[in-house]
Amino acid sequence: MLKNLTIINAKLANYREKQQIVINCAGIIEAIEPIKIEFNHQNNQDIFDVNGDYLSLGGIDLQINGGLGLAFPEIQEKDLDLLDKICDFLWQEGIDGFCPTIVTTSVKNIQRSLSTIDQFMSLQKQQSRQTSQILGVHLEGPFLNPQKKGAHPAEYLLTPSVEAIKFILGDYAHRVKIMTLAPELDPSDEVIPYLISQGIVVSLGHSQATDQDAKKAFQLGASMVTHAYNAMPSLHHRQPGLLGEAILNPKVYCGLIADGQHVCLTMIQILLRSSYYEQGVFLVSDALSPIGLGDGIYPWDDRQIEVKQGTARLADGTLSGTTWPLLVGVENLVKWGICTPDVAIAMATESPRKAINLSGISPGQPANLLRWNWDKKNQKLSWERL
């Protein structure tokens, strides 16, 4: 007879005391509860003591642009096997689910990528093996402000409208989980409500929005900010801008790239303290297609990027992304002394789930757990899948 498993002496985000997690024979979390003094080893129950280590669900990466050399804006049907390998690779990197991110490109490319990912998601639902799941697409463009385009190609940027969105998404609106846009480009105020009516989370980014622009967008239903600080007005004592308004709004989550290159450590601390850490911020990798391949020079649409020590730049030096996996950001925040381990872990595992209305670690969830060890003496946080 299969036995239930009870994990004891586990530290969990949002729990002050150590907990025990009961996992049933189907691999589902049955209960999270205070540790009991006595256990009945005869009652079809095994006990596993994690000795005070942290436990969490796997990471959720809401902004990742490709992997193993494949850029998601360029994906097509012949790449289905490679996409499957990317899912396996991300699972090995501790990622339970992700949103393949399609950056600004031609409408033709967007539609082809959506069609391919739709096909893959249908196939993935038929699988039962452990692999990272595609949660839906993150469209980062093409409705971005040209003044804050960053590495996005200007020739493909478009003005947002309901008609343009319907044309681009076609039959695949149900596969889009997040759309990043610049709200100041839509004076009609129709785009954000329409996207929300389609079940799409609206994130503000690559934008020149003022605090008033952002406030209106949040009132219309936008609930996220894409890579905080990057490609938006800086925080200023007389012009708080998009980010200032987002920080004040308790219903808004800000994505953060914690690689030490996109945002300096002081500004990371300002954002985290003012946003109440995991209550208002989640980590993203913003990883580009060379993730998993190492440093070097790689194609990126019709341009090239150079990856050095995990940071990707265009030939003119424009920062374009990273090749660090999501959980490296967790390790960085702890290594830099910015966060305690439980808070940093929550920002990669709990906060991104909440940002897209998924449940965090709780009864009823599959027990795809990570075990985190905090080596206080050497100030090093490491993880492994259970």
**Catalytic residue annotation:** 286
**Is 319 one of the annotated binding-site residues?**
yes
DSSP tag of 287: B
**Is 206 one of the annotated binding-site residues?**
yes
CB atoms within 10 A of CB 267: 16
**Is 205 one of the annotated binding-site residues?**
no
**Is 231 one of the annotated binding-site residues?**
yes
Least Cα distance to 162 among 148, 181, 137 occurs for 181
Question: CA-to-CA distance for 92 and 88, rounded, in angstroms?
Answer: 6
Q: Provide the token pair at 256.
A: 């953060």
DSSP secondary structure of 295-362 = SEEEEETTEEEEEETTEEEETT--EEEE---HHHHHHHHHHTTSS-HHHHHHHHHTHHHHHTT---S-
Question: CA-to-CA distance for 158 and 191, rounded, in angstroms?
Answer: 13
**Is 237 one of the annotated binding-site residues?**
no
Question: CA-to-CA distance for 225 and 30, rounded, in angstroms?
Answer: 34
Burial call 139-168: b when 16+ CB within 10 Å, e when fewer: bbbbbbbeebbbbbbeebbbebbeeebeeb
**Is 114 one of the annotated binding-site residues?**
no
Question: CA-to-CA distance for 355 and 118, rounded, in angstroms?
Answer: 22
**Is 138 one of the annotated binding-site residues?**
no
| Three-state secondary-structure class, residue 55 | strand
| Three-state secondary-structure class, residue 4 | strand
**Is 238 one of the annotated binding-site residues?**
yes
**Is 273 one of the annotated binding-site residues?**
no
**Is 52 one of the annotated binding-site residues?**
no
**Is 152 one of the annotated binding-site residues?**
no
Binding residues for Zn(2+): 140, 206, 227
Binding residues for substrate: 151, 230-231, 238, 262, 319-321
Binding residues: 140, 151, 206, 227, 230-231, 238, 262, 319-321
